[in-house]
């Protein structure tokens, strides 16, 4: 006799803005056997109507206030997707109400609140509490991490990554939200978007022991530093540089590749969201490129990991501690910039090396996930 199916998690949405519309709702649609939305709320009634309109979720499931949503017995877990300054208070109330919580990143609007996020997780050991970090779940990044774990480029000794891209308010886009233009969180765009890059760096290069940061303010549409450059020393001994710039003027197309230099080869991660590329070269100047298309940047996988933790136990890869570790690199970089000195990073309790996520019960990296991969070989020998 077949085992009875586990009923889907009854999910409440708190905040139904852009991240839900563009990222989480498409992912939830692919996880209909794991989740069913039983209630949703947003401080804007218009956003509630908009969500009901495009999702097809019954408008009668809209709840006027989050306290009312949290009091409902037909909500097992909540997805918190409100502006960064409000994430903590909403996650705290949801845990106090006995819900499992998937909270959007970053873990803390500043270092003090990052510590409060950690304490909140410690205070609720009986709940699944996750702070989303989709980059831990991206197919191309997990593939690259598996290559590194297999020693594909020998001992990585240097990381070099420059990311530059225009950022101006665009209606209907993330940059169009007023709370991002006048950020009430330390780090501005580097805590909001750059924290994903830090997650990528930690996933692939390991933990960061020391950081020397500098910042510049050169975007007239954002009331916070647009440029950040970091010199990094990793706990494993490798060194690196990460530079991110979000100017308000258009800039010529840039590769924005991350390069990892090892004793036996080089790994280059590039491409756009539509087509990610991982290229490995060896000492014989041969390159092996794998192209990833149709992947969703890890949103479905992170929600699958959360559902696994809620339904089967265990700890998700995107733990609160891991997200705090990401956020603290940004905070420490800003401390370093303000003090004009290199600073060490304290290990975050419960974090450590980022585990490599694989679909539950699978030895492979991509089982059951959307997306296609293709590989090719070339040479850059003279
Ligand atoms: N993982 C990612 O790639 C990614 C991408 C974008 C945004 N995010 C995160 O998602 C969150 C939301 O970002 P967004 O771009 O959707 O912002 P948004 O402004 O588009 O949406 C936020 C929504 O929350 C509502 N809201 C504000 N305060 C509220 C409260 N106290 N209770 C209920 N609703 C409230 C607003 O009315 C709005 O509809 C942020 O924390 C952001 O960091 C993550």
Q: CB within 8 A of 259, min separation 6: which ones?
A: 159, 160, 161, 266, 267, 268, 269
CB 83 near ligand 1, within 6 Å? yes
Q: Which residue ranges does the chain devote to CATH 3.40.50.720?
A: 9-132
Q: Which residue ranges does the chain devote to CATH 3.30.360.10?
A: 136-299+359-379
CB 206 near ligand 1, within 6 Å? no
Find the 103 Cα to ligand 1 centroid distance in Å.
10
Q: Counting Cβ atoms within 10 Å, is residue 1 exposed (0-12), middle (13-18) or buried (19+)? A: exposed
CB 213 near ligand 1, within 6 Å? no
Residue 130, beta-bridge partner list: 102, 319
Question: Which residue numbers in the chain have pLDDT < 70?
Answer: 1-4
CB 181 near ligand 1, within 6 Å? no
User: What number does the ligand 1 atom closest to the CA of 89 have?
Assistant: 31
Evaluate whether 228 touches 244 at the Cβ level (below 8 Å). yes
Cα–Cα distance between 321 and 275 in angstroms, integer? 30
Nearest CA to ligand 1 atom 9: 104
Reported residue count of the chain is 382
Cα–Cα distance between 202 and 322 in angstroms, integer? 9
pLDDT score, position 70: 98
Cα–Cα distance between 104 and 5 in angstroms, integer? 28
Find the 249 Cα to ligand 1 centroid distance in Å.
26
pLDDT score, position 4: 60
**Residue of 102, 104, 169 to mutate, ligand 1, most atoms within 8 A of C-beta:** 104
pLDDT score, position 311: 97
pLDDT score, position 124: 98
Per 3-state DSSP, the chain is made up of helix, strand and coil in percentages (nearest 5) of: 35, 25, 40
Find the 189 Cα to ligand 1 centroid distance in Å.
14
Cα–Cα distance between 311 and 164 in angstroms, integer? 41
Nearest CA to ligand 1 atom 25: 15
Nearest CA to ligand 1 atom 3: 134
User: What number does the ligand 1 atom closest to the CA of 19 have?
Assistant: 16
User: What number does the ligand 1 atom closest to the CA of 41 have?
Assistant: 33
pLDDT score, position 273: 87
Fold of 136-299+359-379: Dihydrodipicolinate Reductase; domain 2 (3.30.360)
Evaluate whether 256 touches 270 at the Cβ level (below 8 Å). yes
CB 82 near ligand 1, within 6 Å? yes
The three-state secondary structure class of 266 is: strand
CATH architecture of 9-132: 3-Layer(aba) Sandwich (3.40)
Q: Which H, E and C letters describe 148-193, residue by residue?
A: HHCCCCCCEEEEEEEEECCCCCCCCCHHHCHHHHCCCCCCCHHHHC
CB 87 near ligand 1, within 6 Å? yes
Cα–Cα distance between 142 and 378 in angstroms, integer? 23
pLDDT score, position 3: 53
Find the 297 Cα to ligand 1 centroid distance in Å.
18
pLDDT one-digit tens code per residue, 330-363: 999 999 999 999 999 999 999 999 999 999 999 9
Nearest CA to ligand 1 atom 6: 19
CB 134 near ligand 1, within 6 Å? yes
Nearest CA to ligand 1 atom 5: 19
Q: CB within 8 A of 361, min separation 6: which ones?
A: none
Q: Phi and psi dihedrals of 9, rounded to 5? A: -70, 130
pLDDT one-digit tens code per residue, 24-53: 999 999 999 999 999 999 999 999 999 999
Number of Cα atoms under 13 Å in the Cβ half of residue 10: 11
């Amino acid at each position: 006799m077949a085992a009875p199916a586990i009923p889907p998690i009854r999910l409440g949405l708190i905040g139904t803005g852009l991240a839900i519309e563009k990222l989480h709702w498409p992912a939830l649609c692919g996880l209909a056997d794991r989740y069913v939305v039983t209630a949703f709320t947003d401080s804007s009634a218009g956003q509630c109507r908009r969500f009901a309109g495009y999702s097809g979720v019954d408008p009668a499931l809209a709840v006027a206030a989050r306290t009312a949503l949290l009091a409902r017995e037909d909500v097992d877990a909540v997805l918190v997707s409100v502006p960064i300054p409000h994430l903590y208070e909403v996650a705290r109330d949801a845990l106090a109400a006995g819900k499992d919580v998937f909270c959007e990143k970053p873990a803390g609007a500043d270092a003090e609140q990052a510590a409060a996020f950690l304490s909140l997780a410690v205070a609720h050991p009986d709940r699944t509490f996750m702070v989303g970090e989709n980059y831990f779940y991206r197919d191309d990044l997990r593939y690259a991490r598996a290559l590194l774990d297999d020693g594909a480029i020998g001992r990585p000794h240097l990381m070099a990554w420059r990311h530059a891209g225009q950022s101006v308010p665009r209606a209907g886009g993330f940059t169009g939200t007023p709370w991002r233009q006048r950020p009430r969180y330390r780090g501005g765009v580097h805590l909001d978007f750059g924290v994903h890059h830090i997650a990528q760096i930690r996933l692939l290069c390991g933990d960061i022991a020391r950081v020397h940061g500098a910042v510049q303010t050169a975007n007239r549409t954002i009331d916070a530093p647009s440029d950040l450059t970091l010199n990094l020393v990793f706990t494993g001994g490798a060194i690196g540089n990460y530079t991110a710039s979000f100017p308000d003027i258009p800039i010529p197309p840039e590769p924005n590749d991350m390069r990892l230099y090892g004793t036996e080869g080089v790994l280059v991660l590039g491409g756009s969201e539509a087509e990610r590329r991982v290229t490995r070269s060896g000492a014989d100047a041969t390159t092996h490129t794998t192209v990833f298309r149709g992947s969703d940047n890890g949103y479905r996988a992170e929600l699958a990991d959360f559902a696994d933790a809620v339904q089967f136990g265990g700890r998700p890869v995107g733990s609160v501690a891991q997200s705090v570790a990401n956020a603290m690199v940004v905070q420490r970089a800003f401390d370093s910039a303000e003090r004009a000195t290199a600073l060490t990073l304290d290990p975050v309790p419960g974090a450590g090396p980022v585990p490599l996520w694989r679909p539950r019960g699978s030895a492979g990296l991509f089982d059951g996930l959307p997306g296609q991969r293709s590989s090719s070989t070339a040479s850059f020998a003279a």
